[in-house]
Structures are given as C-alpha cells and as structure tokens.
Amino acid sequence: MEAQFLEAICLASVEILGEKEAFQTLKGLGMSSFSALDPGRFTMESYGRELAKRHGDQAAAGLLIRIGRASLIFLRRYYEPIGALGAIDNRLKPIEKRFPDSLKILAGEIDRELGAKIETSAADALTYHWRLDGSGRVLEPYYHFGLLEEFCNWLDSRKDYQIVYAPQGAEGKAAELTIHVREKE
C-alpha cells in the first residue's frame, strides 16, 4: 500500500470522526501519529475491527461506509487514473460503456492498494458486480460500499444507484456488492 492511499483514508477519517477520534483509532493500530503512518501495517479490516472495538460492530460498519464515501475525493486527487474518469470524454460515453470500464479502473487501483482481489463484472447493461475475494473480510466491504456509493454518484449523478451487499457466508466466499443503475424518477 502506498502512503498516499493511507493518507486518503486518514483524511476521510478525520472528516468523519474528527481529528482526535481518528488519531485514537490509528493509535489503537499501533500508529503513534499521523506523521508516523505505516502503510505496511494498515489493513482496512484491522481498521474496521479497531472502529468496532471503540464503537460496536454496527456503528463501525456505518463509519466505514461514510469513510469510504469521504475518501473518494482524496483518491481522485492522488490517483490520476481515478481522477481522469471525470474527464468529459469519459462522461460522454454511453453508460453501458462508461460504467464497466470506470469500475474496472477503480477496482484496479483499490485492488493494488488493499490487496483485496477485486473482480468486477456486468450482469447486464445496468447491473454490475464488485467481488472482494479472501476470507476474513467482515468489515472491509462496508468501506467499499461507501466508496462505490460516492463513485457512482460522481460518475453520473443523473442516475439512481442501488447497492446491495451480500456478506460472506460461513464457507468464506467472496463478499459481493451488486450495483443496480436506474433512471431517476
């Protein structure tokens, strides 16, 4: 993981939790200050578990969703391939071309940073899947949920998006988020 990705998560955490609470949560992961952030020791799952220790499981899931949403603006600034998706030439593509291509780019950047083994696919022109492979990812998918909510709205705010999360089963299957694109009413 690169330091700029961790910085984006930290800035989003400060936005949602406030500086003091964000610092205390990182301290629980063994990071003594924002300047001593160590991307090699950070995982989104361990961050979620630390939030759960401090606030409970349901609150941690909600906080990760909000942190996911808040992190997109920083990821757009720090990662040129993500930021470039806002360019007019991408926005003018029809949604059935723009959406799967853009999801794949986002998944590639997040996969590289989190080692999440993300796969994207299209069920049809308006239904897409985002799969997180690997066992033990109980809270991390909530971060992805929030990130995808914000990403979808940023990519095309003229549509409505319903994101459904199917948690991993006991057999350790991949967590799957399904995105349904709908016309605004």
Q: Residue 103: is its pLDDT beyond 90? A: yes
Task: Report yes or no on 57 lying in a domain.
Answer: yes
* 39 membership: H or E segment, kind and range: none
Q: Looking at residue 34, what is its pLDDT?
A: 56
Choose one of 76, 99, 124: the last residue of a domain. 76
Do both 32 and 115 map to the same domain? Answer: no
SS3 30: coil
| Other beta carbons less than 10 A from residue 142's beta carbon | 26
Q: CA-to-CA distance for 49 and 78, rounded, in angstroms?
A: 26
Do both 111 and 133 map to the same domain? Answer: yes
**Residue position matching structure tokens 């069920």:** 123
| Average pLDDT for 104-113 | 92
Do both 58 and 99 map to the same domain? Answer: no
Q: How many CA atoms lie within 13 A of 26 on its CB side?
A: 25
Gap between the terminal Cα atoms of the chain: 41
Q: What are phi and psi of 65, to 5 degrees?
A: -60, -45
Task: Report yes or no on 83 lying in a domain.
Answer: no
| Average pLDDT for 24-48 | 75
Q: Residue 1: is its pLDDT beyond 60? A: no
Task: Report yes or no on 84 lying in a domain.
Answer: no
Q: Looking at residue 142, what is its pLDDT?
A: 95
Residue 57 — left, alpha, or beta (φ > 0 → left; ψ -120 to 50 → alpha)?
alpha
Q: Where are the alpha helices (DSSP H) in 30-56?
A: 44-55
69 pLDDT tier (thresholds 50, 70, 90)? very high
Q: Which residue has the higher pLDDT, 42 or 121?
A: 121
Q: In which domain, by residue range, is 35 found?
A: 3-76
Choose one of 11, 41, 76: the last residue of a domain. 76
Do both 94 and 179 map to the same domain? Answer: yes
What tokens appear for 142 in the block? 């909530």
Q: Looking at residue 169, what is its pLDDT?
A: 59
